[in-house]
Amino acid sequence: MINLTITEALKKLKSKEISATELTKAYLNRIDQYGKDLNCYITVTPERALSDAAASDARYAAGTSLPLDGLPIGMKDLFATKGIRTTAASRMLENFIPQYESTVSQKFIDAGTVLLGKTNLDEFAMGTFSKTSYFGAPINPWQMERKLTAGGSSGGATSAIASGLAIGGTGTDTGGSIRFPSAITGLVGMKPTYGLCSRWGCVAFASSLDTPGPIARTVDDAALLLSAMAGHDEKDSTSASAGFHAHTPLEPILGDGKKLRIGVIKEFANVEVSQDMKRLFEARIADLKSIGAEIVEVSIPNILNALAAYYIIAPAEASSNLARYDGMRYGLRVEGENIYDTFKKTRAAGFGEEVQRRMIVGTAVLSSESYEVYFMQAARVRRMISDSFNKAFNECDLIICPASAGTAMPLDSDLTPLEYYALDLFTVAMNLAGIPACSVPAGLAENGLPLGVQVVGKRFDDMRVLQLAKHIEQFAGVDNRPTKIMGK
C-alpha cells in the first residue's frame, strides 16, 4: 500500500479493496520503522490519524465519501492545527498548541484526509537545507547512508513523502521552499499563484511571498491536493477570488496537433549547472519538441538580480512578522531584570542563528537610512521582474527552466550563508512575481539522484502549468516508489 499514489489509493478506497484504517496503519507502521532515522516529523499524531481513518471508513460505508477521504498526509509544521503542537521548527514555539485551525489544514479536514503528523522544516521556514530546524535536519531517503539534504524549507515533507511516510503533504514556498526540496527528492512540488491558497493560520515568514502549496509523487496527485487547498478566504486579505478544480487524469496540453510555445530564459543560459542537469534539461526540451512544442528564447532582463531583491524584501518582512515573538503572550519566555531584558533574553534564546541573522538584516533595511535600498531599489527590481515575465508571456505560453543547479548535497556541506542563498537562484523570481511554478522530476543523474525542472506560467495559469509538467513527468519516467528509493 505504501507504493500507491493518491489517485491509485482513492480508487482502491472507493472500491473498498482497502480501508482507510488499513492504509493509515501501513503508514504509521512505516513511521515507527523509519521516522526516527529520517527525522521528517516533528510531531506524529497516531490517535488523531486512526480517528480520522475510522471516520473516513464510515463515510465510505454510508456512500457519503469526501474528495480525499482516507488519504494519510503530513502537514508542514507551519500550519496551525487546533489542539496539536505547532512549532515552526523553533524553540520559540516548541510547546505552542493553537486553539484555532489554519484555513489550509481545515480544507484538508473538510476533504476527508487523515493527519499523520506535522513535518519538519527550517526554523520559521528560513533556510535551504532544513538544517536550521531546532529539532535537527530531515534526511533525504534516496541515499540515506550519505546523509544528504532533503532540501528546505519543506524538507520534512519531501523526506516523508519520498520515503513513504506520507502519501502527500503540504509545503510553503517563499523563495523556492517547495520546488527545490521536491526537485532533489524526485517529487512534484507546486507553488501556486500567490493568493490562490490562503495563508491564514500559517506562521508568517514574508507575507508578500509566502505561498502554501502541495507536494506529491505525481502531477495528478499534486493537482488533486491543490484542488482541496485552493479557494478564496475572507480571513486572508491577500486571498484571491479564484479557485482551482482539477479532474484527473489531467488532459494533455500537447500532441494530437496541439501547439504550444514554450519559453527558455535567455539569462539562465550562462548560469553554471551540473552536466547532469544540462543533459536532462536538453533531453526534456527535445521530448517536448517531438510532440509539437515550439521552443522560443525569452528574456527576463533582471532575473539574475532577483536574489539580491529577495534577500532585502524577505528579511524586511520577516523582521516585521517576527516582532510578535517577545515572550509576553505566547511561546518561550525567559525572565529578565525588566521588560526590555526579558525581550532580549527571550529572543536570544528562542531564535536560531539564521533567524537572528535575517531579522537583523531586515531591521537594518527597514531603517530610515536604508529607505532607498528597500523601497527604491529592491521593490523596483521586483516590479521590473514581474513586468518582464508579463512581457515574456506575450511571446510564449509557458516557460521551463531548471529547479536546481544539481542534485542533493551532503547535509554537512561547508557553505557560507551567501552560498546557501545562491541555491535559490532558479526559484526566487517566481515568488517576487507571484506566478505559478511547478517542479517535476526530469530524470536521474549519473550518481542515481533525481533532478527536477520547473514549469512556469502566468498568474492563475496553474492548470496549464500542471498539464505541461505531466508531459515532462511521462517523458522522464522516474520511478519514485518509496520501496524502490529505499530498497525496502
Active site residues: 76, 153, 177
Cβ atoms of residues 142 and 408 within 8 Å: yes
- Residue of 186, 162, 183 whose CA lies nearest to 173: 183
Distance of CA 458 to the CA centre of its chain: 19
Q: Which three cell numbers stand for residue 287?
A: 521530448
Residue 262, φ and ψ in degrees, nearest 5: -110, 125
Please enumerate in sequence order all residues whose Cβ is within 8 A of that of 351, keeping only pairs 6 or more positions apart, or say none. Answer: 90, 91, 92, 123, 322, 325, 359
d(CA 35, CA 294): 45
Cβ atoms of residues 430 and 363 within 8 Å: no
Cβ atoms of residues 459 and 430 within 8 Å: no
Enter the DSSP assignment of 237: T
What is the residue whose three cell numbers read 527552466? 401
Single-letter residue type at 79: F
Cβ atoms of residues 268 and 303 within 8 Å: yes
